[in-house]
């Protein structure tokens, strides 16, 4: 089955700097890659997703890139702000699967003012 | 607000007991998913139901069971509880059978503490 690895597990940046979180997946048939943000004590919330027919997608300060050949995708946050501090999870789903998401173990991002 | 409702918010019980967690999906969503999140752990997929039928099974223990009712709400039953079952249990829903065409939306979770 699908396996998703996420790095780093923790990331600390200064406010205004960029943050990059990387994930790799094992199933070459995977075609949908969402990213979720979970603030302390709250539910995971979808922040951006990408499908395998595109290589990059942007939404204001957030972007996701996908390299299908290497089977990895990354989340990029520019001009980080303290409210970006949270745990970020990547996920993948395989074509033909039942549709459930397999999540990475998460990255705890801390943005220092 | 995601539209996914989970009750109760908190549950404290003793080892060996049985509890039921309840989830109402967003209006129009036919799939319900259950995830377990232990301290400092990621989201572990337990089980998925679509329109009343089991669709996928993950790392769900035999002591755990779930069902989805005709009104589409779902219940997760946890029995013979152990200390290690203490976790945050999330329910999520999506429109279709999977999430490729309809994103997953999470409820606020039920925090289970087994003492």
In whole angstroms, give the CA distance from residue A50 to residue A58: 10
Answer whether A99 sits within 8 Å of B100, measured CB to CB: yes
pLDDT, average across residues A67-89: 96
- Average pLDDT over chain A reads 91
In whole angstroms, give the CA distance from residue A46 to residue A42: 13
Question: What is the pLDDT at residue A4?
Answer: 92
Q: Are B77 and B66 in contact (CB under 8 A)?
A: yes
pLDDT at A100 over 80: no
Answer whether B98 sits within 8 Å of A98, measured CB to CB: yes
User: What residues of chain B score a pLDDT lower than 70?
Assistant: 40
Question: What is the pLDDT at residue B58?
Answer: 85
Confidence of residue A96 (pLDDT cuts 50, 70, 90): low
Confidence of residue A45 (pLDDT cuts 50, 70, 90): very high
**Nearest by CB: B58 against A46, A89, A100:** A100
- CB-based contacts of B62: which residues, under 8 Å, 6+ apart? none
Residues of A in contact with B104 (CB under 8 A): 34, 46, 101
pLDDT at A8 over 60: yes
Answer whether A46 sits within 8 Å of B97, measured CB to CB: no
Neighbours of A55 (CB within 10 A): 12
Tell me which H or E stretch contains A32.
strand A30-38
Neighbours of B13 (CB within 10 A): 16
The answer to whether residue B106 neighbours chain A at the CB level (below 8 Å) is yes
pLDDT at A54 over 60: yes
Beta strands in B8-81 (DSSP E): 10-13, 19-24, 31-37, 44-50, 53-57, 64-68, 74-78
Interchain CB contacts (distance < 8 Å): A and B: 67
């Amino acid at each position: 089955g699908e396996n998703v690895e996420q790095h780093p597990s923790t990331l600390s940046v200064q406010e205004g700097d960029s943050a990059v979180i990387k994930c790799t997946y094992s199933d070459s048939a995977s075609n949908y890659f969402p990213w979720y943000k979970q603030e302390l004590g709250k539910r995971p919330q979808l922040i951006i997703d990408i499908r395998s027919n595109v290589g990059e997608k942007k939404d204001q300060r957030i972007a996701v890139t996908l390299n299908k050949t290497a089977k990895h995708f990354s989340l990029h946050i520019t001009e980080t702000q303290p409210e970006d501090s949270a745990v970020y999870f990547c996920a993948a789903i395989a074509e033909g699967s039942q549709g459930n998401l397999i999540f990475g173990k998460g990255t705890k991002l801390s943005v220092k003012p | 607000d995601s539209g996914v409702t989970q009750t109760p918010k908190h549950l404290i019980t003793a080892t060996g007991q049985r509890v039921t967690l309840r989830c109402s999906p967003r209006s129009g969503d036919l799939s319900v998913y259950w995830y377990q999140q232990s301290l400092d752990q990621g989201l572990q997929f337990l089980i998925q139901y679509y329109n009343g039928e089991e669709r996928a099974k993950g790392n769900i223990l035999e002591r755990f069971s779930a069902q989805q009712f005709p009104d589409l709400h779902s219940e997760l039953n946890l029995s013979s509880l152990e200390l290690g079952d203490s976790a945050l249990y999330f329910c999520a829903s999506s429109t279709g059978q999977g999430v490729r065409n309809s994103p997953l939306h999470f409820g606020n979770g039920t925090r289970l503490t087994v003492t």
